[in-house]
Chain A
Amino acid sequence: MLKFILLLLLVTAGTAAQSQNLVLPYGEFMDTTVVVNPNCDNTYLIYYHHIDTRYPVSTESLLSKSKAFLSKTGQKYTGSGYITFRFMINCEGKMQRVRVMQVDDDYKTKHFDKRFVSDLNEYIHTLDRWQKAVSAYEMNNVNYIAYLSFRIKNGEVINVIH
């Protein structure tokens, strides 16, 4: 039994980047889990545009950081189009329940290499400047839905939309 557990740990070690890709009737997800935080007000679904917030750095900064992150993986990526992640930011700035949408340059559904999507998913989890403890509609400490989209040309991220 101990050997089995050790084997399991070895197999799963280092695979955090190989995020799951769950295909559900209402969309594809990298992660469907939500840990209920008792400090956050979950009464209503709040979107980033209700509270006029977005990740507080420029597109150019996100672009250079995402490119640096991807270059460290040593991977060669391919494809053109958009990989968009839509997720919940809880009141403590933690990202949860990540949906992924992928389209080509003509906005038709496509799938990039899973590793590419996983690596970008891992990158967005490094972002730690999300607005926290947001108030909206007479509620304090709300969670909110936001998204980040990566425009890709021939395997290279050329823009980050937020």
Chain B
Amino acid sequence: MLFISLLLLGGYTSAQNVDCSSKAVQDSLFESYSKKAHNYSFLDDAWGMTYDSLLALCPNIAEAYQEKGRPYIANGNYQKAFEYNNKAVELDPARWTDYRGYLNFVYTKNYEKAVIDFLEAERLSPNGFIQDHTYAFFTAISYMELGEYDKAETYFLKDIAQQKRGKGENDIHFNSLLYFGIMYYLMNEFDRAETYLRDCLQLYEQHPMANYYLALTLKVTGNSQKNIYFDKARQYILEGYKMNEPYTYVSFPRQITLYEVEKR
């Protein structure tokens, strides 16, 4: 660490004498350069240039490529975003395959690639989590969006089983129940859809999407309670309630707005 500090203080940028194969050296260098990069907005050219300096020193630091991809994710430049994230996966698949899966899932809605990445991530890190959810959660929604409902159901059940681990007393994430309900709605299995959506609302009464999709389900089945849930969805959106996923620059699958709720 002292060596790296002296190296950085001296502005010494040669790879000579730096053991880039050492994970400890990589981590230490990454931490130092990240501190520098975070002096800037990630949209500033200096952000990427800081990581370029690091990669000139050690071109095998996967995290640096991932960081370089960030501005391109935010700006919809998929070519650059995946060029850097593919490099991160190539260098450290166990660390970055799930993240690329998440990018394929939420940022490009490339559900075919998301499934491939999450299945591989599961193989590399069984029962792993990313962004508050199991890999199975993202695999399930991806299969749902691909219309492969049998597989989606299998992975929703795996997601729930994984969350119930131990004594089986843990609460299930409300968005697992939400999307399980939406899947049954899409399958025209309205009784099951209603069950899961009501279960979701037991955990998060103000969930705008759960209220909306329950309203849609009740509308199809001719249940006069539908307007109660359309009204609730509208009210809770106006009060600022959200689906409470970690912040993303783009919408989650099937995410709704006030516009859809008001159309009923």
- Residues in chain A within 8 A of chain B (CB atoms): 47-49, 54, 56-61, 82, 84, 86, 101, 103, 105, 107-109, 129, 145, 147, 149, 151, 159, 161-162
**B75 to A: closest C-beta gap in Å:** 6
Kindly list chain A residues whose C-beta atoms are within 8 Å of the C-beta of B76: 84, 86, 101, 147, 149, 161
A151, B257: Cβ atoms closer than 8 Å: no
Residue interface mask B248-264, A partner, CB < 8 A = 1: 01110111111110000
**A114 to B: closest C-beta gap in Å:** 19
- Residues in chain B within 8 A of chain A (CB atoms): 43, 74-79, 81-83, 107-110, 112-113, 249-251, 253-260
A57, B260: Cβ atoms closer than 8 Å: yes
**Residue in A closest to B103 when the chains form the complex, CB atoms:** A107
**Residue in A closest to B260 when the chains form the complex, CB atoms:** A58
With A82-B108, A159-B109, A161-B108 known to touch, is A107 a contact of B258 (CB < 8 Å)? no
For the complex, give the distance between the alpha carbons of A142 and B62 in Å: 37
With A56-B259, A162-B250 known to touch, is A151 a contact of B110 (CB < 8 Å)? yes
With A49-B74, A58-B251 known to touch, is A103 a contact of B256 (CB < 8 Å)? no
A84, B257: Cβ atoms closer than 8 Å: no
B257, A57: Cβ atoms closer than 8 Å: yes
**A89 to B: closest C-beta gap in Å:** 14
Closest 9 CB pairs of A and B: A147-B76, A107-B82, A57-B259, A159-B109, A107-B78, A84-B76, A58-B256, A103-B79, A49-B249
B109, A107: Cβ atoms closer than 8 Å: no
**A143 to B: closest C-beta gap in Å:** 15
Instruction: Out of B81, B83, B107, B254, name the residue touching A161 (CB < 8 Å).
Output: B107
